[in-house]
Structure 1
């Protein structure tokens, strides 16, 4: 392939360097500024936890977090995020690392365009990339695919050196960077299409040894993940989405245009709040048309004033459109972030085309063109800044998540209260207790790494430690929150965004709750696993109740409760089973309040409740034992309260 480049006239070197520095400062500010305003949700928290394990020596993960189709990711993103976390083990460290790599991607965009088409084309490409709303959005949080742009730019730059400058040894780096992009996100596979095209066009001249070296290094980088797959065959059965019928639609075309033009950034406001944002920033609806018109003008300029090397422009176009080819016919759901790999191809194309056209344009036209590009970039930045401010203070269900700064404020409040009240641990009470399935559990488990804490599903349990605790309760933890409010001796509220309520932090003293209102269980009431059933209480007019019990010794066995509601003659008319508070998190003398509900046409005639436990998933009953640990029966019994006690 030809290496003859068409360079545009360069401004004075000092002026150029000042402009490049200003652009990188702008790009870095937009990508790394205000880290407290980033979102930190389940995927981010799980990736952070794995990377922190790698950074602290707790273990080198052989896989990344799971994908939307159930198949695990490669571990490369975990290893990369371990680098900043080794220096500063805090979520903001990973957020700033992401922004820094994406700022370097802007610098790499400038370098590539400068090398091929000259200073003016490079400045144009870098300006459009630095100000691109989706490029900014996808560089501001801890997310595996947000690491892609720098590696994609490395892939493109090494392709330029290997195929167009005939520096054939760079082919090895090109192949390794292609493999790295694939490992960061499976959408990186799209980059293989332009690579294969370049190899086909240069099949007589490319270095076979460099190709084999790159392939060998890539396989070596992938080997740990392959070991994981070989030793965990069950993961192959997880991605049920692969069995879905393939479909042909225009989503890929829509998302390709969206990423390039900055369209639909209002989607981050969520369906409920999008109208309010659009009223605040009506200009955002026009920006895609302005930026789209600018890109169309650039491509028209390329057509009217040919830009060279032509083959490189076609290759850049292939890079931009490769994900469109890959995802137009698809068997899994397609999302906008699958098209991060297109960045910054459209801006390089626009910079090259406009730069070549401006080289022959009169001074007045050059000034007008630069003013137009700068105006579009400024308006995009204003729209993005308005969106950031909006989602930082307004609840956006289904859109942008709770800003990390607000989560950190709640965690800081909980830690400070634990220190001042000399309480030994923090309980996180939300709508789940498993970080692998519950978002709030994953998020606060990550924020509290290094601090003594436990996770409680407040929709199922309220745990009262014998030695007291600080309790951080999210807004989705009913009915446990009512109990914690009654037990607390100190309460703090951390406000969230408008319409999202607050996170409540309670201080619980040592001791137990008042058991006078409980209907006690008859002896024997201790189970073989050490659990003691203390009593029950009806909590609503229908069949809703809570069982109060004391934990046994912790272990790794899962237990479930069964509740049998009986008539006077022993007939069972209703049953409620549910998972018990995890035995992994039991502590000595914990008092647990577990909530149950059932329905029955004979509710008014119920006279007795039988409660027991069984192991899960093997469904083996845990016997009730006497004082000498001899098995007596399979359940403890209590009279069913006919009245609701407060």
Structure 2
């Protein structure tokens, strides 16, 4: 091969790297990324594992993805390093696709297939995520090895073939969709494979899979029951069929909405992308037709053309046959076969003796690449709105578009998935950096977090912050309707965007930092806030409630006061915020409020909750709790007493100290007709 020919893969590789590594901190970062990276951190810390993240089928994946992300987990910014590492692995897959196609199908097919792979928006998007269902690099190796065996009769390549498949399956169990294609490749050409080298490959693959196989054997009854449950998808009634999603994936369509109210400047690009769906459909049909024709005529190149077709068609049919919904991210399993099949007719056109056909091939390739590059460029332009530096703030319209586009794209996709414009790693890393900086400045080792949920094992925002803040800080998550502060020392509170806390945090201390995020509101911004709750004497906390009602209950629970309206209409809700001081020995405080009539009958009572957030800090604490009283629409008009109570074991109420009953009257509430 002349040296000048190496300029083509070099240019394609640089293009693929530029698209995948550009502003890598704008890569999506959500629960799935944290699930893999958190397990990788545990492995680095010395805890080996036989399983990986949980699949939508309810069973755990093998641990391959966890071990794959262990190297970047050793670096100072592991989340950023992992995104770059995943991107580089996919750049390698693009380059190997060019070499594979160049070796077996010629330079023109190599140019078309590798270029389409390099610029495909979905390929670029998933290459920046650490949880992608499939590692395309392993698939390229498997296809290359199969072609070496079948086309060049080099049976020793059976070893990397089976090893690559084993690594793929041990990365994501979804890779079992390759089984029909692999088995058919063996069945069609048994003499070319032989038995010795396949046996070595199977042995090595089994050795790689052994930890997971042992786990499956030990939990078979449980796993079988979960698999028997069938569809465990997000949306059981997907709006788009699997063939449509295949075309979308191959054409890079749907990453951004084709028609947008929030960003009408995207509409021309959406129309152009819609036209490319027809071109892609024609190329796929043309590639499969070329394969079928070669097989029917028993041409010498038939086996080479057949294998990519098998690697495209059979995994896709297997995906359609399995019980779970077919989601777009499953179709990463079709990389790079889908680009090879599309490259067959493009290569034929580019190599035609007729000038007109060469022009058609070149124009088609240029058009596809131009539209797909424009799609990725538009996505990156929108993501630029997530700059945490407000001195470089994006225009208002772009910030509002960045906040609205995720819903529009999800509605268009119609599978319950949300891809494209998402809260990027840049935002979450800025939040974590600011939190660590402020915690070090005020000398605290933990941070109280309002993230809308409290369990990092099941909720996305707690999972992200738990991963990014540890091990230097201990995150303690609070319910959105609850605040818990230590009495005798300062506390740092992180409030994530779109959270309505029980009380305005600035009432308790100064705001230390605000990290902006795009919003659909008038300013186009929301914020994550960091607030310092200053330490103050016990008596100073008595002045915090707007309305003060001191009452001591048994168990070290003391009511300080409340905040709320004095009037409400029947059928509406009355929001009441109560303020309590808890003693060091108080482990639980299921506080509540109720409305009672003049005879003592209860009109409505807020459900008490024994909040685990009370353990978020030790020693004496201040508890702020917001509760909603839903006034019945048929409630009698008149005056009611608003009372504070504390629920005890067995449904009984905790008495006040000194034998003063079981409640404290806060105010008289007037209920008006609706």
TM-score relative to the length of structure 1: 0.83
1:526 aligned residue (540, 555, 563): 555
Q: 1:127 to 1:554 in 2, by over 3 A?
A: farther
Show CA shifts across 1:517-565 (max 9, x none).
36556444326xxxx344452434544333434567799x998666666
Kindly provide the CA deviation profile for residues 337-391 of structure 1, in whole angstroms up to 9, marking residues without a partner as x: 1111111112223334444564452578546634542443233212221122124
Tell whether the 8 Å contact from 1:64 to 1:74 is kept in structure 2 after alignment. Answer: yes
Structure 1 residues 220 and 129: alpha-carbon distance in aligned structure 2, compared to 1, 3 A threshold: same
Match 1:177 to one of 150, 153, 164: 164
User: What SS does the corresponding residue of 1:266 show, helix, strand or coil?
Assistant: coil
Which residue number in structure 1 is paired with residue 612 of structure 2? 581
Give yes or no for contact 1:113–1:122 (8 Å, CA) kept in 2. yes
Distance 1:80 1:198 in 2: 28
**Could you tell me which residue of structure 2 aligns to residue 337 of structure 1?**
329
Does 2:135 match 1:148?
Answer: yes
Q: Is the 8 A contact 2:484 2:614 kept in 1?
A: no
Is 2:645–2:662's contact at 8 Å kept on the other side of the alignment?
Answer: yes
Instruction: Give the conservation status (yes or no) of the 8 Å contact 1:537–1:641.
Output: no
Counterpart of 2:22 in structure 1 is 33
Q: CA deviation at 1:636?
A: 5.7
Where structure 2 has 5 or more consecutive residues not aligned to the other structure, the ranges are 386-401, 408-417, 568-572
**Residue 592 in structure 1 maps to residue 623 in structure 2:** yes
- Secondary structure at the residue paired with 2:331? helix
**C-alpha contact (below 8 Å) 2:256/2:375 kept by paired residues:** no
Higher relative contact order (CA 8 A, sep 6+): 1
Deviates more, 1:603-612 or 1:562-571: 562-571
Mark the runs of 5 or more structure 1 residues left unpaired by the alignment. 1-11
Show the counterpart of 1:539. 564
Gap change, CA 1:180 and 1:31, over 3 Å in 2: same
Distance 1:495 1:184, change over 3 A: same
Q: 1:302 to 1:161 in 2, by over 3 A?
A: closer
What whole-Å deviation, never above 9, does each CA across 1:412-433 have from its counterpart, x for those lacking one? 2333333344444332212111
**1:506 and 2:531 correspond:** yes
Q: Distance in 1 between matches of 2:167 and 2:317?
A: 21
1:94 aligns with 2:82: yes
Show CA shifts across 1:32-81 (max 9, x none). 22112211122222322222222233x23333222234333222211111
TM-aligned CA deviation for residue 485 of structure 1: 2.1
User: What CA distance in whole angstroms lies between the structure 1 residues aligned with 2:594 and 2:612?
Assistant: 19
For each residue in 1:138-169, what CA deviation from the matched residue of structure 2 results, as whole angstroms up to 9, or x when unmatched?
A: 11222242x52111112212222333333324
Aligned to 1:3: none
Q: Which residue number in structure 2 is paired with residue 6 of structure 1?
A: none
**Residue of structure 1 equivalent to 2:374:** 382
Given that 1:171 and 1:207 are in contact with CA atoms closer than 8 Å, whether structure 2 keeps it comes out as no
Q: Do the aligned partners of residues 506 and 361 (structure 1) sit closer, same or farther apart at CA in structure 2, a change above 3 Å counting?
A: same
**Does 2:49 match 1:23?**
no
Q: Distance in 1 between matches of 2:578 and 2:149?
A: 70
- Of residues 585-594 and 225-234 in structure 1, the stretch that sits farther from structure 2 once superposed is 225-234
Distance in 2, matches of 1:95 and 1:209, equals 39
Using the TM superposition, name which of 508-517 and 133-142 deviates more.
508-517
Shift of 1:462: 1.4
Would the aligned equivalents of 1:525 and 1:636 in 2 still touch at CA under 8 Å? no
Quickly say closer, same or farther: Cα 1:525–1:238, change in 2 above 3 A. farther
Question: Does the alignment pair 1:107 with 2:142?
Answer: no
- SS of 1:286's partner is helix
Equivalent-residue separation in structure 1 for 2:441 and 2:625 (angstroms): 30
Matches of 1:592 and 1:103 in 2, distance apart?
52
8 Å contact from structure 2 (residues 269, 375) kept in 1? no
Q: Among residues 121, 138, 144, which one is paired with 1:157 in the alignment? A: 144
Alignment match of 1:428 (pick from 422, 427, 449): 449
Structure 2 contact 83–128 (Cα < 8 Å) conserved: yes
Distance 2:141 2:306 in 1: 18
1:87: Cα distance to partner?
A: 3.4
Q: Aligned with 1:332: secondary structure? A: coil
1:7 maps to none
Q: Root-mean-square deviation (CA), in Å?
A: 3.8
Q: Is the Cα–Cα contact under 8 Å of residues 247 and 280 in structure 2 kept in the other structure?
A: no
Change in Cα spacing, 1:309 to 1:236, as seen in structure 2 (3 Å) is same
Measure the CA separation in 2 of the matches of 1:248 and 1:308: 42
2:244 maps to which of 251, 254, 267: 254
**Inter-CA distance 410–88: structure 2 relative to 1 (3 Å threshold):** closer
Cα drift, residue 24 of structure 1: 0.5
2:632 maps to 1:642: no
Kept after mapping to 2: 8 A contact 1:565/1:609: no
Q: What is the CA-CA distance between 1:397 and the residue it aligns to? A: 3.6
Cα 1:643/1:119, change in 2 over 3 Å: same
- Structure 1's 303 and 317: CA in aligned 2 closer, same or farther, altered over 3 A? closer
How far apart, in 1, do the equivalents of 2:127 and 2:83 lie?
8
**Counterpart residue number, 2:60:** 72
The answer to whether the 8 A contact 1:461-1:594 is kept is yes
Q: Deviations over 1:470-529 (max 9, x none)?
A: 32212222133x4312212234322212525222222222237733436556444326xx
Maintained 8 Å contact 2:24/2:80: yes
> 2-side partners of 1:622 and 1:474: how far apart?
35
Aligned position for 1:451 = 472
Q: Residue 461 of structure 1 aligns with which residue?
A: 482
Asked if 1:605 corresponds to 2:640, the answer is yes
**2:314 aligned with 1:327, yes or no?**
no
